[in-house]
Structure 1
């Protein structure tokens, strides 16, 4: 398999167009097109969906991951041989928003001292982030999927505990003799993929659908709960002090939901990848065992 063809594939996907890929590779757009066509002819399958932006097909995603792995290994081999000075390499990761706002932050602090690496973070729900690994979009992902993607390894990190919280005023407005009026009290969701609140309500056997607000930011989600917009399932790591000073109250002291997280990454022997994995594991000590 021709490495220059794979390099062109990665450039087209990363840059979004054949013209931008040509600028990155310092060749003409027609040369990029010829390399992609040669790759497709050799494999007998379409690798790129021509559009704006261009995206890989399912077979293209398989080769995209190979291309990025080969680029990483090539760079590290050249550095080890002394044939080139360490250069900047993009490290693409998928992290769910709640992790990025809490326990994952020390990874960013460590990465600030990595002179050979830039971070390219993709924010994705933990139930879906392993898909980005399979597509070749990232080399590592924080995920709730314990089954390693093909060619990857999985390490258990620990569990994030979510608890039902609300501002005291909201709780008092919807308080009933038997507890909160779950059918009437407004609720928040992070996005359409967020099932934590729906799962909690299902366990309460509610009969209706309460008013639901969507707030697609981890920090703003908690801020909206503090403001009384609605209640929601929030990470303990993010709001411990709010319960201490009375800013927030627990709607059920016995209820919680633990999301077990895993670190999945390419199964390569790579200095950069090993360093990243070690940083993630150190940061994840904040999680529950």
Structure 2
């Protein structure tokens, strides 16, 4: 059981779960009881903390409180662990992290599994594009983020992890059809393109590195790292994919590199709150080791 004040525990549960109903199930309360605790907390602080919508979100005041309570929760785990107070909820406390989908699909799960085995940690992973994940840190929703942003969020520390290389690939048939005469503005403007989601600009960045022309190719949105590569092998479009996901399809001839001498290197960083917490140090150490083996 958490030592957080019941009102703060209710606040955290609503934000973690996204609704009063799911928070009530987590806390073994009624939704009405959770609502009363949140209302009492808001009256006590003189601020609206939660926007009652689907999913529930914090206001600016709620973001400030969220960040503080997340830190309190982490230090609570740290303190009880120091006294040997292990139980399923405390020793297995949730660690909220923002991660990019490609890291999750390639190198990140193994170190997280190691942390779970050694420390009993449970992970609440928020998948976000590597160029946008620091927003979750800034809002206080996560205690750390695998990000492409080297500039630290206020109150956070940045650790370089390494570089993820992305190669431009397509199926042999697609490459022959659209890129037989080369990779240029004409071919890039006509060939269908795979994009992870509307925040993903890797393909556009690659096109800009080849030509300065304004291009508007046909686009498929495929928000899954593994399905993204599979869609490329099926000839749906060309894509920028991490080289670690491409070894097998390239070796099997299911994919070809559009331009063998061109790629994009995306540096990755681990940003986390600047707290002297042993658990954060353990997470950082394991992530650094795994990234050193997996990234450039």
Work out whether the TM-score is over 0.5.
yes
* Stretch moving more, 2-11 or 146-155: 2-11
Asked whether the equivalents of residues 179 and 258 of structure 2 are also in contact (C-alpha less than 8 Å), the reply is no
Asked whether the equivalents of residues 164 and 252 of structure 1 are also in contact (C-alpha less than 8 Å), the reply is yes
Q: Equivalent residue for 1:123? A: 127
Q: Equivalent residue for 1:200? A: 206
* Stretch moving more, 247-256 or 210-219: 247-256
Distance 1:76 1:207, change over 3 A: closer
Q: Distance in 2 between matches of 1:73 and 1:10?
A: 15
Choose from 261, 266, 277 the match for 1:254: 261
Q: Equivalent residue for 1:220? A: 227
1:58 Cα deviation from its structure 2 partner = 1.6
Q: Distance in 2 between matches of 1:17 and 1:208?
A: 42
Q: Equivalent residue for 2:38? A: 36
Asked whether the equivalents of residues 92 and 122 of structure 1 are also in contact (C-alpha less than 8 Å), the reply is yes
Q: Equivalent residue for 1:91? A: 95
After superposition, what is the alpha-carbon deviation per residue over 1:108-135, rounded to whole angstroms, capped at 9, x for unaligned? 3313413521112111100111111122
Distance 1:82 1:157, change over 3 A: closer
Q: Equivalent residue for 1:108? A: 112
Q: Equivalent residue for 2:216? A: 209
Distance 1:81 1:112, change over 3 A: closer
After superposition, what is the alpha-carbon deviation per residue over 1:58-96, rounded to whole angstroms, capped at 9, x for unaligned? 220121121122122123212323455563211111111
2:52 paired with 1:50: yes
Distance 1:205 1:42, change over 3 A: same
Asked whether the equivalents of residues 100 and 130 of structure 2 are also in contact (C-alpha less than 8 Å), the reply is yes
Asked whether the equivalents of residues 189 and 213 of structure 1 are also in contact (C-alpha less than 8 Å), the reply is yes
* Stretch moving more, 267-276 or 151-160: 267-276
Q: Equivalent residue for 2:63? A: 61
Q: Equivalent residue for 1:187? A: 193
1:266 Cα deviation from its structure 2 partner = 1.7
After superposition, what is the alpha-carbon deviation per residue over 1:149-199, rounded to whole angstroms, capped at 9, x for unaligned? 222211111111111111111111124545562222111111111111112
Q: Does the residue aligned with 1:153 lie in a helix, a strand or coil?
A: strand
Asked whether the equivalents of residues 6 and 64 of structure 1 are also in contact (C-alpha less than 8 Å), the reply is no
Q: Distance in 1 between matches of 2:122 and 2:170?
A: 38
Q: Does the residue aligned with 1:252 lie in a helix, a strand or coil?
A: coil
Q: TM-score when scaled to structure 2?
A: 0.87
Q: TM-score when scaled to structure 1?
A: 0.89
**Which runs of 5 or more structure 2 residues have no equivalent in the other structure?**
none
Q: Does the residue aligned with 2:118 lie in a helix, a strand or coil?
A: coil
